[in-house]
Amino acid sequence: MIDSDTRLRVASGIAKTETEASQIVFTTLKQRGHPDTPPPTISDGWGGIREAMVEVYGRVPPYSGRGRLPILKQPGEDWQYLQMVK
């Protein structure tokens, strides 16, 4: 049994790519208690995790009044994400 005070979050996602599986995982975590920002996350160098976080939790920045309207989601400044590459 996992202590409820630990920082370990358990979720699983099965898909054809790591990005799609990660989107399933982050959608599950969003429903389980992280509605606004993703939990602190550490990943390997394979990729797909950051893109999934931006897809699920990212927000389109407000229009600044100059240039084109922003259309791409951006990561939050308060996110804690570490990618470890050996």
pLDDT in the model for residue 1: 47
The pTM for the full model equals 0.79
Between residues 4 and 18, the one the model is more confident about: 18
- Residue of 10 and 55 predicted with greater confidence: 55
Query: Which residues have C-beta within 8 Å of that of residue 26, sequence separation ≥ 6?
Result: 38, 52, 53, 55, 56, 57
DSSP 39: P
- pLDDT at residue 48 in the model: 87
Coil vs helix vs strand at 22: helix
Give the pLDDT score at 16: 92
Relative orientation angle of helices 18-31 and 49-57, to the nearest 10 degrees: 40
